[in-house]
């Protein structure tokens, strides 16, 4: 017996059928428009990158547990990109002499991570990346926070439906050093454990801190830090670090209109962040994973050249964004299929059929015509099933009188119109339906 292949996509990846693709296209085109309204320019890059690009600064979890790797025929170790930031840092470093800074760049790559598929986590996701390069100004952070706010508003979200939670690694390191007595060489490892604070049970995280060699006083202090508010963290961090902290300055001076909340648990798993870090969450508890994640990374281009070009930006994932939109009733309805079908009653009406279809397409409508001559009844049923709203029927008798039939498929009503009035008549039906 023939053994058929599975029709399911590879675990953790998704097929996007036309209706779903139509929803995504509407959502993403709104987001591109908002991002471009801030002057960001779109770029793209390769899906395959050398493994070393991630080994340098992306962090052990991403590199050791989540990379899809392969060796090419020339023996080079490659990875399917798990994120875009190292690639864009490479592109910025390579093209720095020709660029005007600050450079505002955005992209929409698919990224691959070998993760256990679960709510909010897949193995291939699409991530809008937005980054500003070459700006030391706090206004870069503010611009990014306000852009996030405007992106979500453009999709109909209300500020009460999401939260921008931020921290600053300068402040977090300082509090860990002074309050929890963590030595500099352990800061990265402790931060990585703290990143799991909300994802794992308390005893698991405390045990992991113990495995890093921390004594019980330091472990207790770490736990206390996770519960402190902004003033509490500033009170225990070294004053010179509070003064240096970009986020502390932004929050203390009220520089941003976007609602940014300090959260000591925003640590971020990627190693390259140097100060401001943030994530955006849905306030709907069903959608627990972050929608956006990002931060400032001052030294990533140093991997490629002597020139130090600071960057700040974020990645916004499609999975949690779509969950956010459907959870709040904000996902648009699909609208990509044909709106109009033009049907010939006999082979002799094929030429006027093409003329009518062309005229309607020129008016911006989505129009199909049948490839074969079949019965009108069957074609009308098919048109309805495909979601078309109007049928234009072309018969020899009507044509002889300079007329066509325009049928409203929803109401099952129809009328004859003059050939030259076809566009207005179809638009009138569509307006009525929509």
Choose, by CB under 6 A, the member of 167, 275, 290, 349 that binds ligand HAM.
290
The end-to-end CA distance of the chain, in Å, is 50
**Contacts from 154-157 at CB under 8 Å and sequence distance 24+?**
154/30, 154/31, 154/33, 154/34, 155/27, 155/30, 155/31, 155/325, 155/330, 156/330, 157/324, 157/328, 157/330
Q: Which stretch binds ligand HAM (CB under 6 A): 68-76, 98-106, 114-122, 252-260?
A: 114-122
CB of 71 to ligand HAM, least distance (A): 23
Binding mask 211-240 for ligand HAM (x = CB under 6 A): ------------------------------
Which two three-digit tokens encode residue 330? 């904000």
Choose, by CB under 6 A, the member of 27, 79, 81, 85 that binds ligand HAM.
85
The backbone torsions φ and ψ at residue 422, rounded to the nearest 5 degrees and listed phi first, read -60, -45
Binding mask 242-281 for ligand HAM (x = CB under 6 A): ----------------------------x-----------
The backbone torsions φ and ψ at residue 161, rounded to the nearest 5 degrees and listed phi first, read -95, -5
Q: Where are the beta strands (DSSP E) in 160-212?
A: 162-168
Binding of residue 143 to ligand HAM (CB under 6 A): no
Q: What is the DSSP letter of 334?
A: P
Interface with ligand HAM in residues 294-353 (CB under 6 A):
294-295, 313-315, 317, 319-320
Q: Please give the size of the binding site for ligand HAM, defined by CB under 6 A.
A: 23
- Measured CA distances, 167 to 170, 218, 260, 261, 262 (Å): 9, 21, 10, 9, 6
Closest CA to 101 of 311, 315, 314, 303: 311
Binding of residue 87 to ligand HAM (CB under 6 A): no
Q: Which stretch binds ligand HAM (CB under 6 A): 73-81, 96-104, 126-134, 146-154?
A: 126-134
Place of tokens 């300079």: 402
Binding of residue 102 to ligand HAM (CB under 6 A): no
CB of 85 to ligand HAM, least distance (A): 4
Contact footprint for ligand HAM (CB under 6 A): 83, 85, 113, 115, 121-122, 125, 127, 129, 131, 270, 290-295, 313-315, 317, 319-320
């Amino acid at each position: 017996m023939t053994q058929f292949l599975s029709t399911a996509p590879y675990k953790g990846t998704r097929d996007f059928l036309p209706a779903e693709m139509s929803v995504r296209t509407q959502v993403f085109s709104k987001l591109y428009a908002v991002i471009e309204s801030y002057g960001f320019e779109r770029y793209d890059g390769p899906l395959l990158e050398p493994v070393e690009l991630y080994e340098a600064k992306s962090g052990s979890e991403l590199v050791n547990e989540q990379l899809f790797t392969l060796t090419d025929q020339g023996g080079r170790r490659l990875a399917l990109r798990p994120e875009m930031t190292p690639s864009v840092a490479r592109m910025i470093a390579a093209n720095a002499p020709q660029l005007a800074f600050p450079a505002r760049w955005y992209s929409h790559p698919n990224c691959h991570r070998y993760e256990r598929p679960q709510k909010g986590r897949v193995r291939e996701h699409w991530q809008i990346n937005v980054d500003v390069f070459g700006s030391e100004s706090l206004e870069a952070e503010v611009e990014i926070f306000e852009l996030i706010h405007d992106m979500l508003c453009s999709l109909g979200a209300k500020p009460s439906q999401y939260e921008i939670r931020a921290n600053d690694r300068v402040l977090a390191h300082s509090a860990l050093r002074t309050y929890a007595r963590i030595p500099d060489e352990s800061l990265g490892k402790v931060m990585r454990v703290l990143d799991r604070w909300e994802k794992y049970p308390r005893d698991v995280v405390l045990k992991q801190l113990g495995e890093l060699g921390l004594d019980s006083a330091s472990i207790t202090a770490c736990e206390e830090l996770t519960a402190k508010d902004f003033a509490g963290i500033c009170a225990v961090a070294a004053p010179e670090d509070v003064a240096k902290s970009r986020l502390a300055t932004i929050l203390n001076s009220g520089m941003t209109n976007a609602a940014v909340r300090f959260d000591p648990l925003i640590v971020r798993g990627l190693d390259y962040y140097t100060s401001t870090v943030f994530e955006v969450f849905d306030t709907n508890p069903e959608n627990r994973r972050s929608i956006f994640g990002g931060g400032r990374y001052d030294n990533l281009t140093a991997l490629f050249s002597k020139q130090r070009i600071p960057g700040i930006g974020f990645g916004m994932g499609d999975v949690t964004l779509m969950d956010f939109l459907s959870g709040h009733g904000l996902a648009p309805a699909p609208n990509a299929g044909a709106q109009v079908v033009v049907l010939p009653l006999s082979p002799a009406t094929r030429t006027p059929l093409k003329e009518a279809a062309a005229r309607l397409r020129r008016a911006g409508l989505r129009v199909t015509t049948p490839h074969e001559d079949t019965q009108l009844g069957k074609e009308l049923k098919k048109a309805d099933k495909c979601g078309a709203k109007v049928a234009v029927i072309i018969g020899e008798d009507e044509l002889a009188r300079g007329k066509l039939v325009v049928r409203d498929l929803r109401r099952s009503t129809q009328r004859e119109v003059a050939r030259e009035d076809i566009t207005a008549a179809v638009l009138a039906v569509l307006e009525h339906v929509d």
